[in-house]
A and B are shown apart, each in its own frame.
Chain A
């Protein structure tokens, strides 16, 4: 060590003269200048919080305003629609007729039918691809698989819908010999394209979040890579996988443009995937532009919107919970 031990060579000499090194104009403690800056600081905090709360209030207004437009149904609109109309009468959606029929059951069934097809096709593909990317892919390939699949998420849904209508619909029709060019199956396949990147990204994140320690422990016990992936990594990431599926499901239920373009939009009450269907979201999109503001039909459409909002809000909330549980499980905190 080059440094000298100064204190050992030197007598301790407490300083006797003390020169405070401050601006003599400033009274010790509070300066008017910094008082001013304080005031600005406080004001800014109030302002920023104010804007934040205003913005957050707008977010809450979404629920209020979508619900508010449906609210008159509670006491009934002048043209006879009530809160019971979507759930009573024959299972028919016929809003524009002399006696309008607003039963939403065919729409709910249609939505579930298309969503189910999309989930059945999309989930295994997305999960398998996520597992491959996270566990088996060589480093360099992994680095571009993920952005490539995420690019799929960047394609606007109207483009996917357009592609499905122009190209996919004919392929599906020919392959399965379906009578109707636009049907639930085609819509389901097209919808799968939209949810694959969502399920993939979230579950891949969950898989990569599993600490390497787990894998090494399993491999050290003589398990193969695939065994490790299936028995150790996948189960550890289960809450994240569940979140991925739930959030994908939420997206599928609310997705509008694709189903609007390729589902055929007939509110038929049937489980047959070869028939055209009509979903909740597509109904709003197709009819809202032509409806008379304030009419029963208008209110019912807002009611459907409220329904969609509630369903997706619950799904998002549940998905969020699962994601938090994953983090708690892997890292001990959220």
Chain B
């Protein structure tokens, strides 16, 4: 393949203590693509996602064998600056989790902690820009300084996306970002993902196959910690090569 690669995972085995959660997973994720990860719950797709920005480091006893490379650089090498890595690889969680502060402060949080700017005008600019990018600006511009907790579920999730965008990441990891939302909010998030693709590399974990089919360019199917099949979304859904994939997408599976 001649196309560029953003993230390369090769031979990844992941362990929680003595429990192995990933078995020899290899995958190449292309820049400015949306890559969807599907599979039944407990199949390792979230673990895989969280190993890309080393969020699993927070879990005692968790360890990864194998290689994860971001732009050719080993994410798990000792010289890797985890904090900087997480800035480059943003994350959206399953449950929207805005901090109990104002919407403005939520978006500005990452900018502030990373010391990107101290000037109020620049900060205002970043907040507006990212809120627009997250298609939330028009809904919150009149109540920027009110608690983010007063926003609806869908708005909160888009705020979390804006918050992640504000630190100018290159990659966005989304862990079932719409699983707790109603269909209309879900549609908005999906539209947003489609727009964001132009700028960011997106990896989305979802248990909703229609969603994977709608938003992604490539899809990986996980089962019991193994990457069973990885292909262009269209091909994977129309002509799966693997029997297990077929069973899963046709719903003959748990």
Known A31-B84, A38-B83; judge A8-B168 contact (CB<8 A).
no
Asked if B33 lies at the interface with its beta carbon under 8 angstroms from chain A, I say: yes
Is A7's CB under 8 angstroms from B33's CB?
no
Q: Which bucket holds chain B's interface residue count?
A: 35 or more
Known A8-B234, A12-B217; judge A3-B187 contact (CB<8 A).
yes
Interface stretch of the complex, out of A13-21, A56-64, A194-202, A211-219: A13-21
Is A18's CB under 8 angstroms from B4's CB?
yes
CB proximity of B252 to chain A, nearest CB, Å: 22
Interface stretch of the complex, out of B11-19, B56-64, B73-81, B140-148: B73-81
Asked if B247 lies at the interface with its beta carbon under 8 angstroms from chain A, I say: no
Is B115's CB under 8 angstroms from A21's CB?
no
Q: Which residues of chain A from 127 to 167 have a CB within 8 Å of any chain B CB?
A: none
Known A6-B194, A7-B216, A15-B32; judge A29-B80 contact (CB<8 A).
yes
Is B88's CB under 8 angstroms from A22's CB?
yes
Q: Which residues of B contact A14 (CB under 8 A)?
A: 3, 30, 33, 217
CB proximity of B38 to chain A, nearest CB, Å: 14
A33 CA to B83 CA, complexed, in Å: 11
Q: Which residues of chain A from 23 to 80 have a CB within 8 Å of any chain B CB?
A: 23, 26, 28-31, 33-35, 37-38, 41
Asked if B220 lies at the interface with its beta carbon under 8 angstroms from chain A, I say: no
Q: Which residues of A contact B199 (CB under 8 A)?
A: 19, 21
Asked if B153 lies at the interface with its beta carbon under 8 angstroms from chain A, I say: no
Q: Which residues of A contact B110 (CB under 8 A)?
A: none
Closest to B72 in A: A28
Closest to B191 in A: A3
Question: What is the interface size of chain A, counting residues whose CB is below 8 A from a CB of the partner?
Answer: 29
Closest to A17 in B: B32
A5 CA to B190 CA, complexed, in Å: 11
Asked if B229 lies at the interface with its beta carbon under 8 angstroms from chain A, I say: no
Out of A2, A21, A30, which one reaches B168, CB within 8 Å?
A21
The A interface, classified by DSSP as helix, strand, loop or mixed, is loop
Q: Which residues of B contact A15 (CB under 8 A)?
A: 30-33
Is A29's CB under 8 angstroms from B213's CB?
no
A22 CA to B33 CA, complexed, in Å: 18
Asked if A175 lies at the interface with its beta carbon under 8 angstroms from chain B, I say: no
Asked if B122 lies at the interface with its beta carbon under 8 angstroms from chain A, I say: no
Is B216's CB under 8 angstroms from A1's CB?
no
A38 CA to B78 CA, complexed, in Å: 14
Known A18-B31, A23-B168, A33-B115; judge A3-B214 contact (CB<8 A).
yes
Is A7's CB under 8 angstroms from B170's CB?
no
CB proximity of B45 to chain A, nearest CB, Å: 19
A16 CA to B73 CA, complexed, in Å: 21
A245 CA to B40 CA, complexed, in Å: 50
Is B88's CB under 8 angstroms from A7's CB?
no
CB proximity of B126 to chain A, nearest CB, Å: 13
Q: Which residues of A contact B190 (CB under 8 A)?
A: 3
Q: Which residues of B contact A22 (CB under 8 A)?
A: 88, 168, 170
Is B170's CB under 8 angstroms from A21's CB?
yes
Is B217's CB under 8 angstroms from A1's CB?
no
Closest to B187 in A: A3
Is A29's CB under 8 angstroms from B79's CB?
yes
Of the candidates B30, B84, B114, B115, the one having the most CB atoms from chain A within 10 angstroms of its own CB is B84
Closest to A4 in B: B214
Out of B73, B81, B233, which one reaches A38, CB within 8 Å?
B81
Is B84's CB under 8 angstroms from A29's CB?
yes
Q: Which residues of B contact A30 (CB under 8 A)?
A: 79-81, 84
A22 CA to B90 CA, complexed, in Å: 13
A22 CA to B183 CA, complexed, in Å: 34
Is B213's CB under 8 angstroms from A34's CB?
no
Asked if B230 lies at the interface with its beta carbon under 8 angstroms from chain A, I say: no
Q: Which residues of A contact B32 (CB under 8 A)?
A: 15, 18
Bitwise, B194-212 to A at CB < 8 A (1) or not (0) is 1000011000000000100
Closest to A35 in B: B81
Q: Which residues of B contact A20 (CB under 8 A)?
A: 71, 170
Closest to B171 in A: A21
Q: Which residues of chain B from 12 to 43 have a CB within 8 Å of any chain A CB?
A: 30-33
CB proximity of A38 to chain B, nearest CB, Å: 6
CB proximity of A282 to chain B, nearest CB, Å: 48
Q: Which residues of A contact B169 (CB under 8 A)?
A: 21
Q: Which residues of B contact A1 (CB under 8 A)?
A: 183, 187, 210
A5 CA to B211 CA, complexed, in Å: 9
A5 CA to B87 CA, complexed, in Å: 32
Name 17 interchain pairs, CB-CB below 8 A, sorted by A.
A2-B183, A2-B184, A3-B186, A6-B214, A8-B234, A12-B217, A15-B30, A15-B31, A15-B33, A20-B71, A21-B199, A28-B73, A31-B84, A34-B84, A34-B87, A37-B83, A38-B83
Supplied contacts A5-B213, A20-B170, A34-B81, 19 more A-B pairs, CB within 8 Å:
A2-B183, A2-B187, A6-B194, A6-B215, A7-B213, A7-B216, A12-B232, A12-B233, A15-B30, A16-B3, A18-B4, A18-B6, A21-B168, A21-B170, A26-B84, A30-B81, A31-B81, A34-B84, A34-B114
Closest 9 CB pairs of A and B: A15-B32, A3-B187, A34-B84, A30-B81, A18-B31, A34-B83, A14-B3, A18-B4, A34-B81
